[in-house]
Amino acid sequence: MFSLGSNGGVVALGGETAGPLLGGRVLLDLWRYRSASGWVQLASETARTSDGPAVYDVGSNRLIILGVSDENFQLETQNWVYDPSTNRLARKDAGGRPTLGMRDLTMVYDVESDRAILFTEVGETWAYDVDRNAWTKKT
């Protein structure tokens, strides 16, 4: 679950009905919760990814989602951006993106640099610029 700032509520992306060994399937839809209106499904597009971190970019008012597995539980790095002002979810095949095959990822938004910062389990640090749609490896 991810926050969309003080008035945007919280957003939930995906989940699963059960693990792959139990015949489950990945849920790839996007939902927003606000206390006044409850749960509402967002965006007509559906992300084909789950299990990754996401951050709210306050500078651009967009949610940046990094998915690491597809609807068949296969590892695949995908970059998605949700714009709450237009209710659009779009896949962004960013240049220089990290190749991930890992689960332990942490992503934060750095206000000062206006970048999403990704920390990987192998000690790499990446910065994502949503306006340029580009990843830069920092370490």
- Residue 97 φ/ψ, nearest 5 degrees: -65, 150
Taking only the tens place, the pLDDT of each residue in 24-83 is: 776 667 888 888 889 988 865 665 555 678 888 988 889 888 876 655 555 567 788 888
Res 17 pLDDT > 80: no
Find the CATH number of the domain harbouring 89. 2.120.10.80
- How many of the other CB atoms lie within 10 Å of CB of 5? 11
Which residue segment(s) compose the domain that 56 sits in?
2-137
| Residue-level pLDDT at 26 | 67
> Considering its fold, how many domains does the chain have in total?
1
Q: What pTM does this model have?
A: 0.77
| Residue-level pLDDT at 51 | 64
Taking only the tens place, the pLDDT of each residue in 115-130 is: 999 998 888 899 999 9
* Full 3-state SS string of the chain: CEECCCCCCEEEEEEECCCHHHCCCEEEEEEEEECCCEEEEECCCCCCCECCCEEEECCCCEEEEEEEECCCCCEEEEEEEEECCCCEEEECCCECCCCCCCCCCEEEEECCCCEEEEECCCCCEEEEECCCCEEEECC
- How many of the other CB atoms lie within 10 Å of CB of 103? 11
Average pLDDT score over residue span 72-100: 76
Res 103 pLDDT > 70: no
